[in-house]
Chains A and B, each alone.
Chain A
Amino acid sequence: MTVHVTTPRFKLNVHEALGDPRLQRAMSHAGNLVPRRASAAERLPEFEALRDSARDIKNHTLAHLDLYLEAYEKRVTEAGGHVHWARDAEEARQIFLKLCAERGAKRVTKGKSMISEEIGLNEALEAQGIEAIETDLGEYIIQLRHEAPSHIIAPAIHVTRDDVEADFRKFHTHLPADRDLTKPETLLAEAREILRQKFLSADIGVTGANFLIAETGTSIIVTNEGNGDLTQILPKVHVVVASLEKIVPTLDDAAQLLRVLARSATGQDMSVYTTLSTGPRRPQDPDGPQEYHVILLDNGRSSMLGTEFADMLRCIRCGACMNHCPVYQAVGGHAYGWVYPGPMGAVLTPSLIGVKEGGQLPNASTFCGRCESVCPMRIPLPKMMRHWREREFERHLEPAAVRYGLGIWAFFARRPALYRFAANLGMRAMALVGRKKGRFAWAPLASGWTQARDLPAPQGATFQAQWRARSGALR
């Protein structure tokens, strides 16, 4: 069982997304976080220095990842918890299902976790007859709709308020039909009421982790709804599913990263809840789970270490790159076709599912660089997308027309005298045809361009030809 991948049909996904008026209406608000992030960064004079520091912390950690992971495991065990190492998604699912089977678990509540999406946990649980309940409001909404998250921190960003109202009326049939669901607050209150009953009857609570602390064996989650706390405190068993690059050496390091995380993500100084968990409930604790497990997922990440894609492992999943991305804003997250959308997804997807399947994504970028300019971890996203294009080119994976077109162009560009002659001839001919209107509504081999816009016509003889004619000879 794997997460359904539609990345290879990215262009078709784009076509459908652009033709979907409901999605377009929802995505028209996708840029709302841009000014919030900007003002949060502005309010903190040391923000740029913090970004440097955040980058350095993660670089140091990744350089010594083995040591910190071992230290982390030791501390978790000392605190009475268990660490389970999962090489891939299948191993992670099996570990989780075994934990469920051994405890006879029938109901699992979930805090928001992209790793659980990456391993397809809900589907795996469903196949075993175990009920999985998403407790983050956005995740709850898309679970009702049988959809995947379209954003890593705002999973239901593609859904409008009207859609949510319709879904709640469709699924919450035990509630009065004439209830008022026109305000976001009433929608939230209804979801909260329904989820509260589920929290109390869950056998296992699953959360992700924003950070894992090697020094203390602590996992940290940040949420704005408090659902994560109820998920991990109320059931008897708390299972953290996290990928291994979430590790940082100390609590102090995590505190620095937290200072850039929420500001970059939502423009908040801090998320509403920052929850630290270390092992199961101790005798003197008023509450907490009896068991504490961590499933540490690799799934291809360790093979990124030491490559040109290693910088991607610094990512703290704030979503700033997608919030600022013109491509993401145009089509939303589902078009990307796998778990991670936007610029971070365009780099990570080929790393995790292969460039053959994921290669469309690093190509579908204008290299505008806005993602890199806001990334709190200073990840050179466009540069890594270019590296993927290089890998594709080496393996002849790009469309034949692109390769031939590039080859013909390079043949001329590498022969300046021939280029100058042919270009001048070509431009003069084109100018003659296009002179009256000054543009073409259609041109051979340019249908990609002309489907949405005209092609301006050249003025006539090339600059170099005119310059030569004017100054006699070039020196």
Chain B
Amino acid sequence: MDKSPLRVGLFVTCLVDLMRPSVGFAAVKLLEDAGCKVFVPEQTCCGQPAYNSGDRANAKALARQTMAAFKDCDWVVAPSGSCAGMLAKHYPELFADEPDAAREANVFAAKCRELVSFLTDTLGVTSVASSYEGVATYHDSCSGLRELGIHDQPRKLLGTVKGLSLVELTDADVCCGFGGTFAAKYGELSGAIVTKKCANIVSTEADTLLAGDLGCLMNMAGRLAREGRKVKVRHVAEVLAGMTDDPPIGQGQ
């Protein structure tokens, strides 16, 4: 049997790269703890903002760039259901009108995974060795939930974090109102949706909010901060990796 470690390319996502590198390092730790060799090829964005804005030309250019950057990896893993969904589900759709590129996109898509589900479903990870003192609630980000079927996986792993208790969030499967450029283009509407989400978060009385997508987390953290709530907002990878020394999202030093 081949004992050489899996070559995993970390698609860190532009939001994590720019806004919260600590999530990227948490992902690296989780992958390395599970025995993977992690590579970080030079990368920018998966192209989703262009794709969802109707700009197929730029979306395709960025998709080609991303596929080329990760061509030597066995797996491509992203700490985001939204970006992983773009790579795994939408690249083939994007190139549906170009048979050669579509074939390539299909092969690429087949090796793309979201971080937590990759740990549980592909690598068979059943527990983590971290601890976190607190009561957390978990928001199911839309793309991860509905495009990739991520629901039980993070809950199972969070259940093995020492000191952490998990309470379910009412309407956990309802969108937080982020929606990428939607939050900026329809700020008022997005604000109304995230306000409703935050009311549900606050009513759980959890001290920590977790999710698997930084966009949604920044949206909810931004609204909770605006309301003066004390809920700590973190990416699920930070807690699973036991890397919670940095201030929570939207909190100062």
Contacts and interface: CB of A to CB of B under 8 A. Distances in A.
Given A410-B58, A416-B42, A452 B190 contact: yes
B18 A458 contact: yes
Interface string B38-57: 01111111010111111110
Contacts of B247: 438
A364 B189 contact: yes
Contacts of B181: 402
B25 interface: yes
A363 B53 CA distance: 8
Contacts of B174: 326, 368, 370
A36 interface: no
B19 A458 contact: yes
B225 A451 contact: no
A15 B49 CA distance: 25
A410 B56 CA distance: 12
A413 B45 contact: yes
B44 A413 contact: yes
B218 interface: yes
B207 to A, nearest CB: 17
B205 to A, nearest CB: 21
A466 interface: yes
B223 A452 contact: yes
Given A438-B251, A452-B195, A463 B12 contact: yes
B17 A452 contact: no
A18 B182 contact: no
Nearest to A385: B52
A435 B58 contact: no
Given A330-B196, A386-B52, A461 B58 contact: no
Nearest to A446: B184
B184 A448 contact: yes
A26 interface: no
A378 interface: no
B185 A448 contact: yes
A77 to B, nearest CB: 43
For A11, A413, A414, A466, which residue has the most chain B Cβ atoms within 10 angstroms? Answer: A413
Interface in A341-400: 363-370, 372-373, 383, 386, 388-394, 398
B226 interface: yes
Interface string A315-333: 0000000000011001100
Interface residues of B, number: 75
A452 B195 CA distance: 8
A368 B142 contact: yes
Given A365-B182, A416-B42, A436-B253, A454 B222 contact: yes
B21 A386 contact: no
A470 to B, nearest CB: 9
Contacts of B142: 366-370
A389 B53 contact: yes
A183 interface: no
A386 B51 contact: yes
Interface in B111-146: 142-143, 146
B16 interface: yes
Interface string B194-225: 11100000000000000000000011011101
B43 A456 contact: no
B179 A453 contact: no
B246 interface: yes
A369 B146 contact: yes
Nearest to A401: B185
B19 A453 contact: no
A412 B52 CA distance: 18
Contact of B65 (A31, A367, A414, A451): A414
For A410, A461, A462, A474, which residue has the most chain B Cβ atoms within 10 angstroms? Answer: A410
Contacts of A31: 171
B92 interface: no
Contact of A326 (B17, B24, B177, B225): B177
Report the 10 A-B pairs with minimum CB-CB distance, sorted nearest first: A452-B191, A366-B179, A448-B187, A389-B54, A393-B54, A453-B222, A368-B175, A463-B21, A438-B252, A456-B250
29 contacts: A11-B188, A14-B186, A18-B188, A326-B174, A326-B193, A330-B193, A363-B186, A365-B182, A367-B180, A369-B146, A370-B146, A372-B146, A386-B51, A386-B52, A390-B54, A393-B53, A406-B55, A413-B44, A413-B58, A413-B62, A416-B69, A427-B18, A452-B190, A453-B219, A454-B222, A456-B249, A463-B17, A463-B21, A464-B43
Given A330-B196, A398-B54, A406-B50, 11 more contacts: A327-B193, A363-B185, A366-B182, A368-B146, A369-B147, A370-B142, A390-B54, A438-B250, A452-B194, A454-B221, A459-B22
